[in-house]
Structure 1
Amino acid sequence: MTTLDLAVALVGFLTSALSGAAGLGGGTILIGVFYALGMPPSEAVPLFAAVQFVSNSSRTVAYIRDVEWSAAGWFLLAGIPATLLVAPFVGRVDTDTVKLVLAGLILASLVPQASTRPTPARPAFALAGALNGSLGLFVGATGLFVGRLFFRPDWRKETVIGTLAMTQMLGHGLRVLAYGLVGFSALAAPQRLLPLCAAVIAGTLFGKRLNGRISERAFARLFRVVLITLSLKLIWDAMRGYGWI
């Protein structure tokens, strides 16, 4: 195991702890780090999908009593066909384009939500599945923009975290299978995958203990700084890749 593999595992622990405490956000940072390290989508996204499948599985178990199970059916109803239809095109994506799209999604997620009525539950869960199965195949992380569809006014915070974890687990599992069908194996780098999986399980347990013990205001500020910094790094790398700077 190289120093880089250890560093990636440490990032996996920290980002999984973030998701364990807040419900989302850690995955977006992790895939952003993969791209910032220079991994192409064909390597970064299958690895990320496998790791996040493990991470979200452990988070689902941690919040199993709070999961809203009816959301899974509507999520899969759109997620399965979307994943199968889009999977054959994942090998054609340009790395720099993916970086720009991911940076844009990160910045868009930081824009305050308008105080409008939420999307009805069933269409919201189906839309989440469609986004996971289409856009998620290219950018990897979908929690920050799909997660908004799971903030239901009648749900407790724990219900949001558990249900989002469950549907993200399903989405990443579908992606692992889809990548395998088109020749991108999540097991191509086991020396990096296995420590990452162990790290995200430990991070989830640590994040679960932190939940409710940290200041939401301080957490939100740090979270925004990290995401803005990461998105600017992705934009910089993409611009360099395109030869614009």
Structure 2
Amino acid sequence: MTDLWQNAMDHAVALAKKAGSLVRDAVQNDMKVMLKSSSVDLVTKTDQMVEQLIIDSVKEKFPTHSFIGEESVAAGEPCVLTDNPTWIVDPVDGTTNFVHGYPFVAVSIGFAVNRKLEFGVVYSCIEDKMYTARKGKGAFCNGLLLNVSDQKEISQSIIATEFGSNRDTEVVDKIFSSMRKILCLPIHGIRGVGTAATNMCLVASGCVEAYYEIGIHCWDIAAGAIIVTEAGGVLMDVDGTSLYIPDST
């Protein structure tokens, strides 16, 4: 199946480039912004258009494959990972960035077979950076090999995180309580670019030592997960156990 999965990965890269072009064009034009769970949980017509572009292309080229997409799940499609070859997609990771013109927006495409990730593609559209990884073959950015940081001291580290879209006082208090504990370890600083996929690619690139977030979904991390691990990193849950792509969100 090696050649078949390489064919799928090549197709994912081509789709990410095409989707990225749509995103860059949309940044220059008026966009229709809609709300999902709250006033800060945004979705745009471009999110939906990009996801449909990817779905249609995958169904045409790989008609037996399954699909999990952020916008499809939001519209009521089931989010279930089976043994079948499955594309796990966040069409516009960093929608709030996209709406505001903040220059970190990514198309994220993960691909799993037998519930194991085979490859990941993250295209940071505005930066024109294509991150790719194939199981057992390393991780790359625009063709250059990636390696995670070799820093062993947490006090010499930068940690990435995000704030999510929940603005309930209790939730926000927990977020800042966690940040305070991490800052006071101490560490050099906390950063975040507004997209989970890009944050994970920054870990893979070695410019930040770690990334954490609470309340993440499988489409946020599927592609980034294999990029990080192929760059020499690890993924773990808050209890220290290995993190895996869940059957459902």
Q: Same fold, TM exceeding 0.5?
A: no
TM-score, structure 1 as length reference? 0.27
Q: Comparing both structures, which one devotes a greater share of its residues to helix?
A: 1
Specify which structure has the bigger relative contact order, considering alpha-carbon pairs within 8 angstroms and separated by 6 or more residues.
1
Report which of the two has the higher share of strand.
2
